[in-house]
Amino acid sequence: MTLAAPVASSPPVRTEVRGRVLLVTIDLPPVNALGLGVRQGLAGATEQLATDPSLAAMLIVGAGGNFVGGADIREFGKPRQPPFVRDICNRLEASPKLVVAAIQGAALGGGLELALSAHYRLVLEDARIGLPEVLLGLLPGSGGTQRMPRLVGVPVALELMLSGRHVGAHEAVQIGLADRLGEGMDASTAGLAYVEELLDANAPRRPSRYATAVRCDAQDQAAISAARDAQRARNPLLLSPHLIVDAVEATLHQPFDAGMVLEQQLFQQCIDSPQRRGLIYAFFAERQAAKVPEANQGVARAVNEVGVVGGGTMGAAIAVAALNAGLRVTLVERDEPSLQRGLANVGKVYTGLVSKGRMTQADQNALMSRLSGFVDYAALGFADLVIEAAFEDMAVKKAVFAELDRVCKPGAVLATNTSYLDIDEIAATTSRPQDVIGLHFFAPAHIMRLLEVVVPRRAGADVVATAFAFGRALKKVAVRAGVCDGFIGNRILSVYRRAADYMIEDGASPYEIDDAIRGFGYPMGPLQVSDLSGGDIGWATRKRQAATRDPRQRYVQVADRIAERGWFGQKTGRGWYLYPKGARAGEPDPEVLAIVQKERSRAGIVARDFTAGEIERRYLAAMVNEGANVVHEGIALRPLDVDVVFVHGFGFPRFRGGPMFYADTVGLGQILSDIETFAKDDPHFWHPSPLLLRLVAQGRDFSSLNAASV
Ligand code: COA
């Protein structure tokens, strides 16, 4: 009997001697993150360089299309084992032999810090370089805050670290982060040629710690002060941006090694912060959201030609999103004037960008050349995917789908952008319900990243897979939702908005509500949002729901009184707030307060005070409880799907992870006990979700449900 030899897994770091150069390849899919095995491999390679007298230089590259995607994010918060990246970086930088990095794809976070410790950096055309730690609630902790400013100067380093943005190859060379733009797409070949060239020229070692771009002058100091003020204004609740500024400031006043010590202390503060946990949770949650059962069951259909029915604000913005993704778009409207308006709506978005200097006229022309418009549905015969963005009315939708059923080719995906209608009912009117799905974009559709993929009962797995692939092509964060009124996001929103309305009628002013919710970390309060999106929309929904509303449900009429006056928010100059002379930031309106007071009297309510803390508790308890119902009913696959919806579509502060993650940090027992307390006054509204009750009884949290594999 012969036994098959065990398959040896290849080491995460390979070394090969190529003449006088040690070629070091980091090879750990998916992104060559700097986990323990990679760190050990790099430490070993450093040792080999130091001890092998035949070697004159080291070249570091990554396999699989990326250099290094950063530290292994999964390790943060867990006990970490040496060797540490910062020590490897220090050793490489101090090496008496030449160290060169050749960067293909991502060199992010610890990956860039590794490259910054090399003496020379070559970038290939597709390089994406950056220090995105701020987006995870961290700061670069392996010398990045000290080396980057010394290489590119304080203002540029601050901008890169505080935005976390990725720099392309050309910009990297231009700002001095990289020394050479390499040709071709093979980092080892281009890198080895570069190293040989450097060796032949006797190029000196260039430790970044001695680079001189920090000028220590008034301009640098001014950049630090400006960054500090900007962060205080923009991100008052976040920790890591402020600490990044502190760490960079050290480059002005302290020697390199002292700066490294400070960086370590500040890094540890970030690691210990709950914000770091929330932000890292959000990073993985948005990637987990794409893992839906259908992804393993069906293969996505190819989508090159997209049809959009309806050229209103939403349809036009969807067309823009598809054009931006490089797709061809056919817009269909019911008549010529509507079509011209629709095409103009698309053009307006690009003209705005051109006038702001964010796009060239040539780019606009190229994008618009992929757009065509027709008043005949037959034009959609070639479309691989059609998105209906017509008027939100079941009869209208059914008429559109009848046309689509008639003209679309077999295998075309037929999607509706409805925000609440029953997609099972729409699908059932076609001869191909397996091809029908919901693609619920959020306004403005070319900017907001959330896309709810609403899956009706009979949708094919390949159609769901196509919807997710389409979302990814559009750079959206797609979340799977089941069919119900409002799907995940709007359904939960309607519940916590009611909680806010109840507080207003019970004594909180609308402005206190908004202040409290902004204090929690939202960029805007719910009433500001209502004024921005237009009070007429919610008013129409409430009128639609009036006939079927449970008579036991408490109904607050303040918003109706405001809407009846034609005060729809910013577009009409007043809503919950006043917007004198087209101002974008509203002012509190005494007349709104008088309306609120009148409604309280009409309802026989004596106003009481609410603290910001109580407003926050009620608002979030309502959100979390309905989030639990949505998971309980299978509308959302997991709590993390609810979190992703709220972070990407509703302004929930990302550093708190999302409502369900936040609930775990508060403790589900606490949330339940709040709901039971609130229920004493209004048991109909405050009704604990069966899922919340079950988890509390079992001593579990929402995160325990996220682990469920799909
Ligand atoms: N540590 C651990 N896992 C990582 C990782 C890291 N630094 N970077 C990416 N991953 C994982 C993702 O979770 C994903 O895992 P999954 O397939 O199990 O879902 C996989 O790698 C692919 O990542 P994804 O983002 O889907 O691939 P992409 O090709 O679109 O983008 C990157 C690649 C590297 C640009 C992107 O993953 C990224 O920005 N990563 C984080 C970079 C970062 O912040 N580094 C600093 C860390 S301090």
Q: Residues near 583 by Cβ (< 8 Å), separated by ≥ 6?
A: none
Residue 286 within any structural domain of the chain: no
Answer yes or no: is 5 within a domain.
no
Residue at a domain's end among 432, 455, 477: 477
Distance 164 CA to ligand 1 centre (A): 14
Binning pLDDT at 50, 70 and 90, where does residue 710 land?
A: very low
Q: Is position 133 annotated as part of the catalytic site?
A: yes
> Annotated catalytic, 16?
no
- Read off the tokens for 182: 């390499």
pLDDT recorded at residue 77: 87
pLDDT tens-digit map of 427-475: 999 999 999 999 999 999 999 999 999 999 999 999 999 999 999 999 9
Average the pLDDT over 692-710 and give the result: 89
The answer to the question of residue 418 being in a domain is yes
Is residue 383 a part of any domain in this protein?
yes
Q: Rounded distance, CA 174 to CA 211, Å?
A: 16
Domain check: are 314 and 377 in the same one? yes
| pLDDT > 60? residue 109 | yes
| Domain containing residue 394: CATH number | 3.40.50.720
**β 413-416/436-441 pair status:** parallel
Q: Of 93, 133, 286, 333, which residue is the catalytic one?
A: 133
Q: Which has the closest alpha carbon to 84: 11, 136, 35, 153?
A: 35
The conformation of residue 134, written as its DSSP 8-state character, comes to G
Q: 132 CB under 6 A from ligand 1?
A: yes
- Single out the residue in 477, 512, 533 at which a domain terminates: 477
Q: Give the model's confidence band at 1: pLDDT under 50 very low, under 70 low, under 90 confident, else very high.
A: very low
Please check the confidence at residue 10 and state whether its pLDDT lies above 90.
Answer: no
Is the Cβ–Cβ distance between 91 and 54 less than 8 Å?
A: no
Which residue has the CA at smallest separation from atom 20 of ligand 1? 30
With a 6 A CB cut-off, is 709 part of the ligand 1 pocket?
Answer: no
* Residue 108 Cβ < 6 Å to ligand 1: yes
**CB count in 10 Å sphere of residue 320:** 25
Q: What is the CATH number of the domain that holds 545?
A: 1.10.1040.50
For ligand 1, what atom is nearest to the CA of residue 284?
A: 13
Verify that 446 and 496 share a domain, yes or no: no
| 283 located within any domain | no
Whether residue 291 is contained in a domain is answered as no
Residue after which a domain boundary falls, among 456, 477, 498 = 477
pLDDT of residue 404: 97
Say if ligand 1 is within 6 A of residue 475 CB. Answer: no
Q: Are residues 389 and 264 in the same domain?
A: no
pLDDT of residue 708: 61
- 696: helix, strand or coil: helix
Q: Is residue 707 very low, low, confident or very high in pLDDT (cuts 50, 70, 90)?
A: confident
Identify whether the C-beta of residue 656 lies closer than 8 Å to the C-beta of residue 662: yes
- The reply to whether 70 and 201 lie within a common domain is yes
Ligand 1: distance of its center to the CA of 112 in Å?
A: 14
346 in Cβ contact with 311 (< 8 Å): yes
Q: How far is the CA of 106 from the centre of ligand 1 (A)?
A: 10
- Going by C-alpha positions, the residue among 256, 237, 379, 227 that lies closest to residue 307 is 379
Indicate whether residue 30 lines ligand 1 (CB < 6 A): yes
Give the closest residue (by CA) to ligand 1 atom 41.
69
Q: Report whether pLDDT(6) > 60.
A: no
Q: Which atom of ligand 1 is nearest to the CA of 132?
A: 44
Q: Indicate if ligand 1 lies below 6 Å from the C-beta of 109.
A: yes
Domain identity same for 241 and 347: no
**Does residue 406 lie within any of the structural domains?**
yes
For residue 3, name the pLDDT band (cuts at 50, 70, 90). very low
How many angstroms does the Cα of residue 284 sit away from the middle of ligand 1?
A: 9
Whose alpha carbon is nearest atom 28 of ligand 1?
31
Instruction: Please indicate, yes or no, whether residues 137 and 164 belong to a single structural domain of this protein.
Output: yes
Q: Is pLDDT of 258 > 90?
A: yes
**Residue 542: band (very low, low, confident or very high) from pLDDT cuts 50, 70, 90:** confident
Here the contacts of 689-697 (C-beta below 8 Å, separation 24 or greater) are 689/625, 689/626, 689/628, 689/629, 689/632, 690/629, 690/632, 691/628, 691/629, 691/631, 691/632, 692/624, 692/625, 692/628, 692/668, 695/628, 695/668, 696/668, 696/669, 696/672
Q: Are residues 263 and 389 in the same domain?
A: no
pLDDT at 8: 54
Q: What is the mean pLDDT of residues 680-696?
A: 96
Express each pLDDT in 77-98 by its tens digit. 899 899 999 999 999 999 999 9
Mean pLDDT calculated for residue range 364-379 = 96
Residues 621 and 503 in one domain: yes
318 C-beta closer than 6 A to ligand 1: no
The answer to whether 453 touches 480, Cβ cutoff 8 Å, is yes
Cα separation of 15 and 27, whole Å?
Answer: 11
Annotated catalytic residue, options 16, 93, 113, 197: 113
Q: Does 181 have pLDDT greater than 60?
A: yes
How far does the centroid of ligand 1 lie from the alpha carbon of residue 596, in Å? 49
pLDDT score at 545: 84
Same domain membership, residue 343 and residue 236: no
Asked if residue 300 has its Cβ within 6 Å of ligand 1, the reply is: no
407 lies in the same domain as 382: yes
Q: What was the pLDDT predicted at 385?
A: 98
CA 275 – ligand 1 centroid, Å: 19
The residue whose CA is least distant from atom 24 of ligand 1 is 287
Please identify, by atom number, the ligand 1 atom nearest to the C-alpha of residue 141. Answer: 48
Instruction: Output the CA 72–ligand 1 centroid distance in Å.
Output: 9
| Residue 68 CA to ligand 1 centre (angstroms) | 10
Can you give the pLDDT at residue 2? 41
Mean pLDDT score, 538-546: 86
Q: What is the mean pLDDT of residues 144-167?
A: 98
Residues sharing a CB contact under 8 Å with residue 345, sequence separation 6 or more, in sequence order = 311, 312, 313, 315, 316, 317
pLDDT of residue 658: 98
In angstroms, rounded to a whole number, what is the distance separating the alpha carbons of residues 710 and 706?
Answer: 10
- Domain of residue 650: give its range: 489-706
Segment 59-75 shows an average pLDDT of 97
Question: Which of 35-39, 155-159, 585-589 is predicted with the least confidence, judged by mean pLDDT?
Answer: 585-589
Report how far residue 521's alpha carbon sits from residue 519's, in angstroms, rounded to the nearest whole number.
5
For residue 482, tell me if it sits in a domain: no
Q: What is the predicted pLDDT for the residue at 327?
A: 97
450 lines ligand 1 (CB under 6 A): no
Residue-averaged pLDDT of the chain: 95
| 445, 508: one domain | no
Number of folded domains in the chain? Answer: 3
Please give the sequence-ordered ranges of beta strands (E in DSSP) within 464-518, or none if there are none.
477-482
Which of 73, 148, 160 for a ligand 1 pocket mutation test, highest count of atoms within 8 Å of Cβ?
A: 73
Q: Same domain for 406 and 501?
A: no
Cβ of 33 closer than 6 Å to ligand 1, yes or no, is yes
Ligand 1 centroid–CA 29 distance in Å is 10
Ligand 1 midpoint to CA 69 (Å) = 6
What's the whole-model pTM score?
0.94
The answer to whether the CB of 106 is under 6 A from ligand 1 is yes
- The predicted-structure confidence for 600-643, as pLDDT tens digits, reads as follows 999 999 999 999 999 999 999 999 999 999 999 999 999 999 99
State the pLDDT confidence band at 490, using cuts at 50, 70 and 90: very high
Kindly state if the Cβ of 562 falls inside 6 Å of ligand 1: no
Say which CATH number the domain at 143 has. 3.90.226.10
- Tell me what percent of the residues of the chain surpass a pLDDT of 90: 92
- Ligand 1 neighbourhood includes 110 CB (under 6 angstroms): yes
The answer, yes or no, to whether any atom of ligand 1 lies below 6 A from the CB of 113, is: no
